[in-house]
């Protein structure tokens, strides 16, 4: 089962809005970057700026803001913050989409993609442009009826791929900027930026697919890799992941702990605990107790946790129970 299969199952679910489900960016009850409410600090949502008084109210002896002024300023900051977040995500989406096309330039369109063996190079490019157009339609019109098959996408001849992908990216960015309220997602209504974030993380991983297929270096900004890694673990650790992919039941355990520590940032590590109800992910430090510990640049941790790098890759330093890490890796295929 690949990510598209998981997403199709969510489209086909009776409610269409499970409270907390794997894939994409789980977000029931208000979340940030795909983390269920309360797991991490929530990002402020867009709010309409309220009117603020001008001047001091009669009798005020100082120039500190009134309650109304403070509320208006906070609302304005939320709006500016939301616009800034959309701008940041839009830039990242353009960069990652273009990076996929650059990485496969000159390759045979029919060549296999080793990390997505069901796809050819043409399908990989097709998925990027197709997914962005698909997400744009969701933002504009609501729930989809199906998840499109990348093998049916038509990006045109290789010389046109960059422009074709860029047009899909622009379509999604424009739809998000024009949205005037929450939009549909698998996990209930979300700010339109949900779909930008989801597609940025997807494009980051497929940028790696393109680079690995071409045999070229894969580079990713740490903040992008961190967000994509958060989402990858949310996918695997969502409480009802097993309902969509029964094989994930093999990840249940009795307290075994796996610790993933980014090089140079040991205060922002990921601790996965295998419980009888499934794995659970939390933030930790590199000093947290664990049965197996992996240290690597955050982009390489992302590749490990999305099965683009094997546990024995030389970029990774692991200590502790290697068999536990191997078992995790072998049973996390989507």
Structure confidence by residue, pLDDT tens digits, 196-243:
999 999 999 999 999 999 999 999 999 999 999 998 898 889 887 888
Rounded CA separation 21/4 (Å): 14
Name the more confident of 277 and 16: 277
Checking if the pLDDT of 3 tops 70, the result is: no
What mean pLDDT do residues 142-152 have?
Answer: 93
- Structural tokens at position 293: 């510990």
Phi–psi pair at 171, nearest 5 degrees: -60, -45
Q: State percent of the chain over pLDDT 90.
A: 67
Q: What is the pLDDT of residues 231-255, one digit of tens each?
A: 889 888 988 788 878 999 999 999 9
What per-residue confidence (pLDDT) applies to 315? 95
What mean pLDDT do residues 135-161 have?
Answer: 95
Task: Decide if 40 contacts 179 (C-beta within 8 A).
Answer: no
What per-residue confidence (pLDDT) applies to 11? 56
- Structural tokens at position 258: 């796996």
Other beta carbons within 10 angstroms of residue 161's beta carbon come to: 24
Q: What is the pLDDT of residues 37-76, one digit of tens each?
A: 333 322 222 222 222 222 223 333 333 444 554 444 444 5
- Structural tokens at position 278: 């499934």
What per-residue confidence (pLDDT) applies to 51? 29
What per-residue confidence (pLDDT) applies to 10? 54
What per-residue confidence (pLDDT) applies to 187? 73
Rounded CA separation 236/238 (Å): 6
């Amino acid at each position: 089962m690949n990510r598209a299969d998981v997403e199709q199952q969510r489209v086909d679910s009776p409610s269409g809005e499970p409270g907390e489900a794997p894939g994409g960016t789980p977000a029931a009850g208000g979340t940030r970057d795909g983390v269920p409410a309360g797991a991490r600090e929530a990002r402020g949502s867009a709010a309409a700026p309220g009117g603020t008084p001008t001047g001091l109210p009669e009798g005020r002896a100082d120039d500190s803001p009134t309650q109304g002024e403070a509320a208006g300023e906070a609302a304005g900051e939320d709006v500016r913050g939301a616009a800034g977040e959309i701008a940041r995500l839009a830039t990242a989406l353009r960069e990652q989409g273009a990076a996929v096309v650059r990485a496969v330039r000159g390759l045979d369109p029919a060549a296999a993609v080793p990390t997505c063996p069901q796809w050819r190079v043409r399908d990989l490019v097709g998925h990027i442009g197709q997914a962005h157009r698909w997400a744009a339609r969701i933002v504009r019109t609501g729930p989809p009826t199906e998840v499109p098959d990348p093998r049916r996408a038509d990006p045109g001849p290789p010389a046109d791929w960059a422009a074709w992908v860029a047009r899909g990216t622009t379509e999604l960015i424009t739809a998000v900027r024009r949205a005037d309220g929450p939009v549909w997602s698998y996990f209930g209504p979300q700010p339109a930026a949900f779909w930008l974030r989801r597609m940025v993380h997807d494009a980051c991983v497929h940028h790696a697919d393109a680079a690995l297929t071409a045999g070229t270096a894969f580079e990713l900004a740490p903040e992008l890799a961190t967000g994509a890694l958060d989402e990858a673990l949310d996918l695997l650790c969502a409480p009802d992941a097993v309902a969509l992919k029964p094989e994930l039941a093999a990840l249940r355990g009795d307290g075994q702990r796996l610790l993933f520590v980014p090089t140079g940032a040991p205060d922002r590590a990921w601790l996965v605990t295998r419980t009888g109800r499934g794995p659970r992910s939390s933030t930790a430090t590199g000093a947290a107790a664990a049965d197996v510990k992996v240290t690597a640049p955050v982009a390489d941790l992302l590749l490990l946790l999305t099965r683009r790098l094997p546990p024995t890759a030389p970029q990774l330093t692991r200590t502790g129970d290697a068999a536990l890490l191997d078992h995790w890796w072998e049973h996390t295929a989507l």
